[in-house]
Amino acid sequence: MAAIETFGLTKRFESLVAVDRLDLAIDREIFGLLGPNGSGKTTTVKMLTTLLTPTGGDATICGHSVIGNPLAVREQISYVPQDMAVDPKLTGRE
């Protein structure tokens, strides 16, 4: 079983197809997702981290579906976006 698998993973925003039927299998290894601006990298990562819901297909993280069991997926991953969004009202402890 691959650590990350996608099966026809698709994301549409109205008439824009951001990710079109992505099939991917990544073993437990370091993996780089590269491509030009607008190629769907961020959208793919957001679907894999359950921040966006796919409009088609599915993906599994360590055997857990991002659609069927997003809480189990979140227990298996960490995500640090390029631009950190921190609430300025929070204390350091929070």
pTM for this one?
A: 0.84
Q: What is the CATH number of the domain that holds 45?
A: 3.40.50.300
20 in any annotated domain? yes
**50 against 1, higher pLDDT:** 50
Per-residue model confidence (pLDDT) at position 79 = 81
88 in any annotated domain? no
15 in any annotated domain? yes
72 in any annotated domain? yes
Per-residue model confidence (pLDDT) at position 94 = 65
Domain carrying residue 10: 4-76
Q: Residue ranges of the alpha helices (H) in the chain?
A: 41-48, 70-76
13 in any annotated domain? yes
Span 29-73, pLDDT tens digits: 999 999 999 999 999 999 999 999 999 999 999 999 999 999 999
Number of domains in the chain: 1
Q: Which long-range contacts (CB under 8 A, 24 or more apart) does 47-51 make?
A: 47/9, 47/11, 47/19, 48/4, 48/6, 48/77, 49/73, 49/74, 49/77, 49/79, 50/74, 51/79
The pLDDT of residue 78 is above 90: no
Whole-number mean pLDDT of the chain?
92
Q: Do the Cβ atoms of 9 and 56 come closer than 8 Å?
A: yes
93 in any annotated domain? no
